[in-house]
Amino acid sequence: MASSSAGLRLSERGVKGILCDIHGVLFDNDSSTSYPVKGSVEAFNKLSESGIPIRLVSNESSCTPEDVVKKCHKLGINVEKSHIFTPVPAAYNVLRQRNLRLIKIFVSSFLLYFLGLEIYFEVLVLR
């Protein structure tokens, strides 16, 4: 059972989980730093305490899940890597499941995600 009043109200309405966008909802970035969206840290942490599962999602392909965890922790948002869903790990799963062999990687920090596949790849680093 949910422990906070917000969580209790959500669970009474049949809410079994929450998908929360990351960029522009929990935090924003400028050229040099990340900063929380006003009220997002408090709201996220209150929902986390409710017992309702929360997963973070993003279509932002320039951040790895590890990057997102670091940013969240730095801003006071307690989240686990396994609760973050971004495009690069999803692409890896599609490549693996479909046994695809040739890909192009445009950001070198994502190369590590694909090393376990028997593929031919090109790494193109955009600056």
Higher confidence at residue 109 or residue 25? 25
In the prediction, which pLDDT does 41 show? 92
In the prediction, which pLDDT does 110 show? 62
If you average pLDDT over every residue of the chain, what do you get? 78
CATH class of 1-85: alpha beta
Q: Considering the chain, what percentage of its residues have pLDDT values greater than 90?
A: 20
Q: Domain segments of the chain: what residues?
A: 1-85, 87-127
Q: How confident is the model at residue 113 (pLDDT cuts 50, 70, 90)?
A: low
CB within 8 Å of 71: residues ≥ 6 apart? 27, 34, 63
Q: How confident is the model at residue 107 (pLDDT cuts 50, 70, 90)?
A: low
In the prediction, which pLDDT does 106 show? 58
Q: Which amino acid is at 98?
A: R
Q: How many contiguous H segments (helices) and E segments (strands) does the chain have?
A: 5, 7
| pLDDT at 61 > cutoff 80 | no
